[in-house]
Every structure is written in C-alpha cells, then in structure tokens.
Structure 1
C-alpha cells in the first residue's frame, strides 16, 4: 500500500494553507514575507491592540494564524518551547489535582511532572494506555486531566486517542495530546476528541533546527483565554525572531515531512531484515503492536524509527558515532538526519528500573530521518551496523 494517505481537506489544500499566512501587519509595504517585529513595547491605542510583547506581538499572531489553518482549529497559543507549552497547560491545575499520564512520555515531560509540578502537589499516575484494561482507570480515578503522547517518545507506542476521549467525557476530564511526532499533517488529535493538541514547533513545524517554540491548539475559547494568560503571566512567550523563523519553516513543512516519512518507511522496511537488529518499531510497519490503530488515526507513519540491538552502551555508541549522515544529537524533525541514544540522552535522568520497564535499555536507538537521498542514508546505516559483526 502507499504509505502516505491523501491529506486533502475541503477548501484549500495543506500546501496552500501552509504557505499563505494572511495578515502580515505590513500592508503598506507590500512585503510578501512578514517582517520581524522586535519591539518590546507598543504605543497605547494602536489599531491592533498590542501593548507589550510578553502579552502579544504581530509575529505571534501571524504564526498562530497559519498554525490554526494547518491544524484546522479555532485557537492557537504560541509559546517559547514545547516545555513552555506543557508548563502553560499544567499551570491551569490546582493543588491536589491528579493527572493520569501515559507511562512513556517525552523525558522532559516526565521530569516536569516528577521533579517540578509534584512540589506544588500536582499528582500523577502513570499507566500503559495501549492496554485497554487501563481505560477503566479514567472512571475509577476521575483525574482532572489526561496526558497522552502518540506516537510516544522513544518507543513509538500508538495510543487510541478517540477511545480514551470517549472515557474522558464521562468524567469531564480534558485530554491533552502531545502531537509533536505526528504533526498536524499526519494526525489531528482535536478531530479525535482531544481537548488540547500541543507540539514543539522546534521540530517538524520549523524543520531547520534553528529556532525554539511550542504551540497549543484548541477549539475552546475558555482554554484559549487560560493559555494566553499563562503566556503573559508566566513569561512563556516566544521571541518574535523565532516566530518569524517558524513561520518561514512551516511553508515547506508538507514537502519536508512527506519526504522524511517516505524515507523512514523505506528504511524501516530494510532494517527489519538486518540480522543484528532484534526489532524495529515504526507505526506503519505491520509488525508494530498498534499497527491497526496507527492506520485508523494517522495519515502516515512519520519519520522516527526506533530499533533495538543486543549491545552494550559503548557498542551502541560506536554504531551511532560511525554514522556519516546521522549526527548523534537530541531533538528531531529537522531536514537533517539524527541518531539518539535515549537511555543516556533524552531519558538519562529517569531511574534505570523505570527505563528497563519501558524498554529503554542500552541497545535502544532512535533515528530521526531527514530529507537526504534515501540510498545515502541506507548505505550509511548498513556500514555502521557492520560493527555488530565484530
């Protein structure tokens, strides 16, 4: 089957919506690309109601407008990073509130809940949401919020978002979905029933590894008001320059992400047959444990591949460092390919027993596939994996 399904909605297509951002706040100049508005303060009584950049800036609104169009949602709040987006959402909770979390979340999300928010008596319970028997915990525990990520980092678990939202409605719990890996091109959490869809715009949205940002999408005006308040009150605002870079980057996102996803699918299929690899995890491989769910709620499998080899940390490092076109680094989603060792990088501070329970051991490798030529990437991976024979 074709790995990338149709992504055409009624009205303008996704490529068109990514390119045309609407208001540029510079109509008198005729500029095609909106300028950067680096001003920290604005004269009182201006036409657009700006006063102080911590509470709003033309570059924020431009980026929010195009993200709203791409996500097909009413409201977007842009923030300084993905972690800022997490912080903004959690800031709406109260002392003693319980958050029911998928057990395999982004490492910094876990750190925030366990080492920061816990000090303010925000409670967390961690469950495996790929096990349907755990859905009943939503009814039993009646959490104030449910926190999901799909696909998860780094195990690429695919969560049945719609099914969990059906349970959440019964206890009136908002559902938050970190959609960073899938992007709004391949998955629409709000359409599946989620309350909030957040992402790190640092990753695929910008796509060039040169700007930090985060965004939260919703259909609820009350949530928009809460999140804008958090942006201003907690100082979670992005910089105008980063918003400008991300606005520029999003224009090529459909082209980049489709190429990356096609590369990743082909590479994942090839790695399946390598004798030195124990298993390969990719959402659109039929061997994926939640393959049917991935087909149901995603338009493509994305560009992250996780694989497991039987090796020590030093041996795994040797493979990662011997790659020519994959830089060993954290982050993902840029046009360049990256390789990450989650146990010692993104999830380094999580205790060993917890990591092993989740499957994050010394032989786990996460690949972020870029836009390079497919043959160059596959040749590079094959030569690096030759070290396993030694």
Structure 2
C-alpha cells in the first residue's frame, strides 16, 4: 500500500508540475496555451508538450550550436567529411581484432584541405569510440572540429547529419558522405563519395582533391549551385571527366593549329611559332601547381616548427624530472630519513599509579 500511495503521489505531483502554466521562456519557443480549450484540456496539453520536450534529447543533437561562432580567422568555406567507410575502413577479425585502413593519401589530404577549408569530421560512431579513432588518425588536428553520432538528429528511428546545427552559412558548406541519407536534411549541400573498403589502389582522394581545389580557386558565392551539378553522382569521378575533356579539347585545338602552321609557315619561317612548341595547359592546372607548390613549402615549415617544439617539450620534461629527483635527494641529505614519533615506554603499573 505504501508503494502504491507513493507512486500515486508522484504521478499527481508530476501532472501538477508538467501541467503548470507556461513560463515566458517557454512561450518564446512557441509553447503557448490555446484560448479555445478549457482548463482541463489546457492542463493535459501542457503535460503532453513538456513530456515531448523532456524526451527530445533522444532525437535532438547534444546542443543547438555544434560549432563556435565564426571569427576573422575562420576559413571562408566549411568542409564536412564523413569518417566511416570514406576516410577510413574498420574491419574486425578474431585473429587481429579491430584494424583500421586509411584511404590512400589521407594524411596529406587532411593537411592540404586545412589550408583551404575549415575541416569538420562527422562520424556515425558514438563519441566514446570515434574520439579514440580520430586522436590517432589526426593527431595534429587538421580537422579541429569532430562530431559524432551524439550530434546527429534522429527522425523516425533514422539518424541524419543536420547541417543547420553547425552554426555556419549554408551557402559556404560542403558535406561529403558515402550515404545520401546522411545529408537528406540539406541535400543541396551534399556530395556523394565512393565507399572505401580498404582497397590499396583507391584514387578517390586524388580526384576529390582536384574538385575541392577548383572550388577554392573560383570562390563561388554559393557552393550549392556547384554541388547541384553533381547531385546523385560520383562527384570526384565526374569532375575528373570534365577536367580531362577540357585538357583534351585544348590539345586537339593545339594539334590543329600545328598542322595549319606546318603546311607553309614552317617552310617559310623555319619552324612553328613558339607557342605551338608544347601543348597548352588549362589555367586551372597552372593555378593548381602554384597552390600545391606553395602548400608544400609552408607545410614543411610548419612541421619543422612542430617537431622543434616537441623536442623542446621533451627536454623540458626530462629536466624537470631530473630537478625533482635532485631536490628530493637534497631534502633527504639535509633532513635525514623520516623519524617516527617516540613510543611511550610507561608500564601498565605506572599508568595505574
């Protein structure tokens, strides 16, 4: 009876608490009473709304703003990369346990992308396992922001990567994922990637790099217009085909000019014009070479600074450990070994006396 009474009391108390009038803060979020309902209907409506909000943590991201506000140092474009079966492939066996294969070129890719984009890695793994993977995968934090399953939105039992929560202008956000369902909430921002299953000869990163370089070169006002061209397709492969078509067209035009020049100009002037000696290169290839050369120089300098700091930190730690050891030795020498307090030698008869 006591248990039943306690349960009944808690139920009544809960109804009273959840059925109380909405606060001003709740009203700002759209939780308002319906004037056409009577008092009892209003009470049950408040209970239902507050109960739904209480359980929303099961379907809502951990916070409404997953990234801090952009500042003057934030890159102009944000690149959201899927982790699982795109950047890495995880495999388990009884013999070896969990093994992680990195997509070929991944280390350089992350470093290079960080020079052009604000890089965010969004994993479908829970944070407790995903954090361990990313600490090993990206120790230098080229992708300073890492999101996990905890940050996804659950709708009807399915998880989605809701870009509206990352606190960035959607016209400057590119999301790349192997699962089109992942960016279902913002399909205009999503590019489809080929899944990675651990193949050593995979060249997706090489192809995707060229697309992202081109975005950086052209600085579009709204990346969604570009993304729309490749929606539902293998963006990396399709862009590579487009670039190859431009190169082939330039070579064909160059060869045609050489034929025309060779018909009579070569005989009269002793050779073709200088600009026809070698096939022309598209402007994007020339810009790409400059970008990559500059990056390699700067990245080498950054790595040298990081290595220098690492060595200095190690030496400082060793020095501190040595100083601590010497200090303890000096303390022991000056003060001597610790002395226990004297023990009373009074006999029982003395105490009685």
The interval holding the TM-score normalised by the smaller chain is under 0.3
Greater Cα radius of gyration, structure 1 or 2: 2
Greater fraction of residues in helix: 2
- After TM superposition, the score normalised by the length of structure 2 is 0.22
- After TM superposition, the score normalised by the length of structure 1 is 0.21
